[in-house]
Amino acid sequence: MVLETLITPWKAEKSPWEMFFYGFLYTSIAIFISLWIFRDYAGLVSVFITVMACIPLLYGTFKMEEEKISYFESESSLLKEHGKALSFFAFLFIGMTLAFATWYVVMPVEVSESVFSVQSKTILAINGSAAGGVELFYKIFFNNIKVLTFCLLFSFLFGAGSIFILTWNASVIAVAMGSLIKTFVFQSTAGPFMSHLGGYAGAIMRYFLHGVPEVMAYFVAALAGGIISTAIIKKDMGTKKFQKIAFDTSNLILLSVAILFLAGIIEAYITPYFY
């Protein structure tokens, strides 16, 4: 309960950048607890503990965003308000990702490979099926559409349940980043500080270029599902307000697909030019 009281949706909207530190803190605590108690399953347990710390914030956010619909007439103003929540979600995700990546880098090789073995297997499966060009774009886009659908459904059915998918994605991206950083440091002739700095810069450019818009699309879909779920719980169905909620969430879903399409183009056609 202590972690839950550190931040509220209202405070997060006022200072979205602070969510980076909360994301880093939640994840770091989760990793330490999982290593201490569930060492053999630390990779998965750390994700679950991070999720548990984030659920109150997400549930409060969904409730707050649903209530905003009553106070804003124009859809453009409403989408702008939703943007405040999405901005702190982005910082939360970046904080979680960099925390997972940092601990992957600082851990001894045998420990990191053991702790994050599930994430490493997922990365190998993704890389093993990689193609190129249009085929790669379609594969990325339709795979991401499946993830987006799960985020929407998990939010609708379980409230803040979509945070599990998003935290899992953060851990997978982090392991990929950590592997790249370790490789860069091993091959670099610069000193420890500069080699790590260069490794982090390269990893962030490679994975955040498409990863951040991709995850933002998932958050938009999760927000849509969470708003509908909250409205149903509050028994708004059949009311004039619910018609407005349905219109708003439909726009959010369309926006999430558009962002995901853009992220797919970046990943398939732009990122490979840099690496």
Instruction: Tell me, letter by letter, the H, E, C secondary structure of 149-216.
Output: HHHHHHHHHHCCCHHHHHHHHHHHHHHHHHHHHHHHHHHCCCCHHHHHHHHHHHHHHHHHHHHHHHHH
Most confident option among 83-97, 174-188, 198-212 = 83-97
Amino acid at 141: F
Residue 218's pLDDT is: 93
Task: Return the minimum-mean-pLDDT range out of 20-24, 44-48, 154-158.
Answer: 154-158
> What is the CB-side half-sphere exposure of residue 52 using CA atoms within 13 A?
13
Written as six digits, the tokens of 116 are 């994050």
pTM here? 0.86
Where are the domains positioned within the chain?
3-274
Alpha helix segments (H runs only) across the chain: 9-14, 18-37, 42-68, 75-106, 109-115, 117-128, 133-158, 162-187, 192-233, 240-265, 271-274
- The fraction of the chain above a pLDDT of 90, given in percent, is 26
Residue 32's pLDDT is: 92
Closest by Cα among 92, 98, 99 to 16: 92
Written as six digits, the tokens of 153 are 């459904």
pLDDT for residue 158 is more than 60 = yes
In angstroms, rounded to a whole number, what is the distance separating the alpha carbons of residues 100 and 181? 13
Written as six digits, the tokens of 90 are 């982005």
**Surface-to-core class of residue 242, CB atoms within 10 Å of its CB (0-12 exposed, 13-18 middle, 19+ buried):** middle
Identify which has the larger pLDDT, 15 or 71: 15
In angstroms, rounded to a whole number, what is the distance separating the alpha carbons of residues 63 and 230? 6
Q: What is the mean pLDDT of the chain?
A: 84
pLDDT for residue 73 is more than 70 = no
180-192: per-residue pLDDT in tens? 888 887 877 777 7
Residue 8's pLDDT is: 82
In angstroms, rounded to a whole number, what is the distance separating the alpha carbons of residues 158 and 89? 18
In angstroms, rounded to a whole number, what is the distance separating the alpha carbons of residues 169 and 269? 21
115-126: per-residue pLDDT in tens? 888 888 887 776
